[in-house]
Amino acid sequence: MTPLLLASTSRYRRELLERLGLPLDTARPEVDEAPGPGEAPRAVAVRLARAKAEAVARLHPGRWVIGSDQVAELNGAPLGKPGTVAGAHAQLAAMSGQVVDFHTAVSLVRDGEVLETCDLTRVHFRSLERAEIERYVAAEQPLDCAGSFKCEGLGISLFEAIDNRDPTALIGLPLIALGQLLRQAGYRLP
């Protein structure tokens, strides 16, 4: 079977996808990731996952392309990647003691055919002291992560609970949902 094409250069997504043991290539999608005016966080994640997959699929006819995007939502507002240490401190301080929703969308696209879904993960943050936030950000430098943490690492210590059906979704690619889409597309998984 032709290798899957992951429309992402994210090492997190690639590492997750490699768990499925399928042949895999990657390509950088050229997509404007800015949300539209008033666009809901879930809608942004779904739109961007599809746009990434479609952008790469146009350049690779006949190949199944996986696009994924994650948008964090706090009190109805989207949270992006912090980009800076100060941004990470501010995000974590805002999420302290709060419940944050993470919408992780995945699209599987080939020659105009689209299979897609969006996973919801609800993260309950414990109350965080400023010194804890500073120590955490210094330790993991989560500047390229939506929500300013790495749940697969020390970031798990920031939570009281996680509600979801797919533990890989919070890392950036919901493998349970993707597995279902891949089986629909004809891939054989264990």
- Other Cβ atoms less than 10 A from the Cβ of 177: the count is 22
Say if residues 72 and 119 touch (Cβ distance below 8 Å).
Answer: no
Catalytic one of 69, 101, 119, 166: 69
Q: Are 105 and 68 spatial neighbours (Cβ–Cβ below 8 Å)?
A: yes
Pairing of strands 4-6, 24-26: parallel
Assess whether 69 carries a catalytic annotation.
yes
Q: Where are the alpha helices (DSSP H) in the chain?
A: 11-18, 41-59, 85-95, 130-140, 175-184
Lookup: tokens for 121: 């993960």
Q: Which residue has the tokens 């990434």?
A: 52
Closest residue by Cα to residue 147 from 139, 158, 138: 158
User: What tokens does 1 get?
Assistant: 């079977």
* Residues known to be catalytic: 69
